Amino acid sequence: MKTRLLLVCICALLALLLGSVLAFEWYHAERIYPGARVRGVDVGGMRPGEAAAALADGLGLNDSLVTLRGPDRSWGIRPTDLGLRLDAPATLAPAYNLGREFSWSGNMLVHLELLLLGFDLPPVTVYDERVARLYLETLAEQVDFPPTDASLSLDGAIPVVNPAQPGRRLDVEATLTALTPSVTGLTPAEVDVVIREIPPSVADAEPARAEAQLLLDGPLTLLIANPLEGDPGPWTLPPEQLVTMLVVRTEDGTLHAALDEEALRAYLEELAPALAIEPLNARFHFDEDTGQLEPISASSEGRTLDVGASVERIVRELAADNRFAPLVVEAVPPCCPDSASAEELGIAELVAEGESYFIGSPSGRDHNIRLAATKFDGVVVPPGETFSFNHHLGPVTAEEGYDESYITAGEQLAIGIGGGICQVSTTVFRAAFWGGYPITERWYHYQRVGYYELRGGGVGMDATVYSPNVDFKFVNDRTYPLLIETEVEEATHRLIFRFYSTDDGRRVESEEPVISDETEPGPPIYQLHEEMAAGTVVKWQSAVDGLTATVVRRVYDAAGNLIYDDVIVSKYAPRRAAYHYGPDYEPPEEETEP
């Protein structure tokens, strides 16, 4: 009986044990067996998805793991910041397989071992180094700063050195190498960032300070070594002005200061016009009988400032601590010295002549014509040069000896200094016209002037001038210089301009002027002048028709080729007669004052 009861108990216990095993296996059919851990995180009894969630929290991938120490501060870094992530399927597959890899009996032993001792598995992680590199590159923006070059500043005229400062740069690759073991091993650590020092490009500014101090040590005085009477200068540049001409340059990592040669050049170029003296050509008369030149006024050298050489001299003087620097001027020889012969200049014969008559001119006008004509007597125009009437005429003032006379000024003649000078410009225009020279500037008068049409002068053959805006110009396009002579024939009051050079065979053709657009003047002008005697009237000017005169000139070279085909148009306004009267005179009823 006792034996039977024992057997029943044993069978019951075996059934209970088998049921428990079957229930355990049934419960863990899709779960990890108890006792399995991943880096200390218990995942036993969990389905893989539940275990993955537990590992995401338990492994601390989103917690600060590494402390990165910089020169000024530290950063706590999470593994995920550096591109480390858990490969949950690869990590949990071995844990799930524990107790499932062997025979039934072998698996039972594993279950028993897991229950008694447990089993810790390493996590499987994926490390993306590109993310870590990008993190460090972003972090570098807080660490890096560029070097500061040594520089020179000025406190007024006192140079001051600003010392150099090295920069720094986070070495991403070296720091990444130091970080990687701790990150991939999930090992807490403190890692120092790797910093590289960046040296400045310019380490020393002391030489520049010393050089600047020497340059600014006092005023710089520029002068002419052998000044002429009336020469300008000297010119003193105080340190405050020299500061504006200071330039700083880098040479082999060192700062140097010097005078800015371009700024100095610009300063000297402003001085150059005051120092320039135009060379004075000799003036000559040509003796047609002997073919020789007779000097009537001496030549003289000119002078110009050699800006480049002056800059070099100033720099040398300052380098020698000399505060007085002579400017370099060079002589400019005249192109036609008084020693030149007719043969040397190529002046051999008369090549053109222009004439006009000033019969009946008032004394002031007569005087002005004769005086102005002397300004051109003996003038030599070099080949290729442009002749300017106003240039050779010079100032027209009472101080220069000119008188008052009639001038054209709007609708009525007026009285002004230099009246009659246009007789001279008209005459030289005619010489240039008939000489076949290219005329580059010519202005016609506002109204016709009777003097210029005397003795066949021809309408449209005048040239007015009014310095400095209205000029007469032509170009000496011959190979040789052009000599101008002027003469006044007293008996006929004839003004003559003669051009001497070497005849190149050119030929000039011109027809009579074509007249068009003739316009009659309006009614006479009567103008009251209180200072005139009562009841008197005088004729101030005569009426002249207006018209357009067109003159054609054709110039041919020695071979008969047309070289200039000019159309010279003059549009003259009509001029009304004008009368001046005194008090108590009654002008005609239809006439009114202007």
Q: How confident is the model at residue 91 (pLDDT cuts 50, 70, 90)?
A: confident
User: Final residue of a domain: which of 142, 159, 179?
Assistant: 142
What pLDDT does residue 195 have? 92
What pLDDT does residue 18 have? 66
Spatial distance between the Cα atoms of 77 and 193, rounded to a whole number of angstroms: 13
What pLDDT does residue 20 have? 63
What pLDDT does residue 38 have? 86
Question: Of the ranges 22-31, 56-65, 470-479, which is most confident?
Answer: 470-479
Q: Would you say 594 and 583 are in contact if contact means Cβ atoms under 8 Å apart?
A: no
Flag whether 368 is in a domain: yes
What are the φ and ψ backbone dihedral angles of 589, each rounded to 5 degrees?
Answer: -60, -35
Closest CA to 201 of 141, 154, 253, 125: 253
Q: For residues 321 and 397, state if they share a domain.
A: no
What DSSP state is assigned to residue 511? Answer: P
Flag whether 485 is in a domain: yes
Please state the rounded mean pLDDT for residues 22-45: 82
Q: For residues 268 and 368, state if they share a domain.
A: no
| 522 vs 370, higher pLDDT | 370
What pLDDT does residue 17 have? 66
Q: How confident is the model at residue 594 (pLDDT cuts 50, 70, 90)?
A: low
What DSSP state is assigned to residue 378? Answer: T
Q: DSSP letters of 314-342?
A: HHHHHHTT--EEEE-EEEE--SS-TT--H
- Burial-class residue 479 by CB neighbours within 10 Å (0-12, 13-18, 19+): exposed
What pLDDT does residue 471 have? 97
Q: How many CB atoms lie within 10 A of CB 193?
A: 21
What pLDDT does residue 222 have? 93
What pLDDT does residue 541 have? 80
Six-digit token string for 522:
């309006």
Of the listed ranges 107-116, 414-423, 471-480, the least confidently predicted one is: 107-116
Residue 590 has pLDDT above 70, yes or no: no
Flag whether 103 is in a domain: yes
Please state the rounded mean pLDDT for residues 138-162: 88
Q: What end-to-end distance do the CA atoms of the chain give, in Å?
A: 168
What are the φ and ψ backbone dihedral angles of 360, each rounded to 5 degrees?
Answer: 80, 10
What pLDDT does residue 329 have? 93
What pLDDT does residue 5 have? 74
Q: How confident is the model at residue 9 (pLDDT cuts 50, 70, 90)?
A: confident
Q: For residues 109 and 236, state if they share a domain.
A: no
Q: Would you say 74 and 68 are in contact if contact means Cβ atoms under 8 Å apart?
A: yes
CATH number at residue 233: 3.10.20.800
The count of structural domains within the chain is 3
User: Final residue of a domain: which of 273, 307, 332?
Assistant: 332
Q: Which H helix or E strand runs over 215?
A: helix 206-215
136 conformational bin, left if phi > 0, alpha if psi -120 to 50, beta if neither: alpha
Tell me the per-residue pLDDT of 205-262, one tens digit each, with 9 for 90 and over. Answer: 889 888 888 888 889 999 998 888 888 989 999 999 988 888 888 888 888 888 888 9
Please state the rounded mean pLDDT for residues 345-374: 95
Please state the rounded mean pLDDT for residues 384-399: 95
Q: For residues 411 and 550, state if they share a domain.
A: yes
Spatial distance between the Cα atoms of 377 and 393, rounded to a whole number of angstroms: 11
| 442 vs 408, higher pLDDT | 442
Q: Would you say 259 and 215 are in contact if contact means Cβ atoms under 8 Å apart?
A: yes
Flag whether 58 is in a domain: yes
Of the listed ranges 28-37, 65-74, 264-273, the least confidently predicted one is: 28-37
Q: Would you say 347 and 480 are in contact if contact means Cβ atoms under 8 Å apart?
A: yes
Residue 591 has pLDDT above 60, yes or no: no
What are the start-end ranges of the H helices in 228-326?
A: 239-242, 261-275, 307-319
Residue 372 has pLDDT above 90, yes or no: yes
Q: For residues 426 and 535, state if they share a domain.
A: yes
Its domain, for residue 240, covers 206-282+297-332
Spatial distance between the Cα atoms of 220 and 225, rounded to a whole number of angstroms: 15
Q: For residues 277 and 352, state if they share a domain.
A: no
Spatial distance between the Cα atoms of 359 and 412, rounded to a whole number of angstroms: 21
Six-digit token string for 417:
């200094």
| Residues 492, 497, 498: CA angle, nearest 5 degrees | 115
Residue 94 has pLDDT above 60, yes or no: yes
Per the confidence metrics, is the pTM higher than 0.75?
no
Please state the rounded mean pLDDT for residues 177-182: 89
Q: For residues 436 and 517, state if they share a domain.
A: yes
Q: For residues 357 and 325, state if they share a domain.
A: no
**Strand pairing class (525-528; 578-581):** parallel
Asked whether the CA dihedral 452, 453, 457, 463 is positive or negative, the reply is positive
Flag whether 289 is in a domain: no
> What's the length of the chain?
594
- Tell me the pLDDT of the chain averaged across its residues: 89
Q: Cis before residue 588, ω within 30 degrees of 0?
A: no
Flag whether 169 is in a domain: no
User: Final residue of a domain: which of 116, 142, 168?
Assistant: 142
Q: How many CB atoms lie within 10 A of CB 102?
A: 11
Q: For residues 231 and 320, state if they share a domain.
A: yes
Q: How far is CA 195 from CA 52, 66, 77, 169, in A?
A: 39, 18, 18, 6
Q: For residues 263 and 390, state if they share a domain.
A: no
Flag whether 458 is in a domain: yes
Dihedral over alpha carbons 512, 518, 523, 524 (to 10 degrees): -20
Q: How confident is the model at residue 21 (pLDDT cuts 50, 70, 90)?
A: low
Q: For residues 314 and 359, state if they share a domain.
A: no
Q: For residues 356 and 322, state if they share a domain.
A: no
Looking at the chain, the whole-number percentage of residues with pLDDT higher than 70 is 98
What are the φ and ψ backbone dihedral angles of 148, each rounded to 5 degrees?
Answer: -110, 120
User: 292-314 in b/e burial notation, b at 16+ Cβ within 10 A?
Assistant: ebebeeebbeebebebeebbebb
Q: Looking at this protein, which amino acid is placed at residue 512?
A: E
User: 420-442 in b/e burial notation, b at 16+ Cβ within 10 A?
Assistant: bbbbbbbbbbbbbbbbbbebeeb
Flag whether 108 is in a domain: yes
Tell me the per-residue pLDDT of 419-458, one tens digit each, with 9 for 90 and over. Answer: 899 999 999 999 999 999 999 999 999 988 888 888 877 8
What pLDDT does residue 44 have? 83
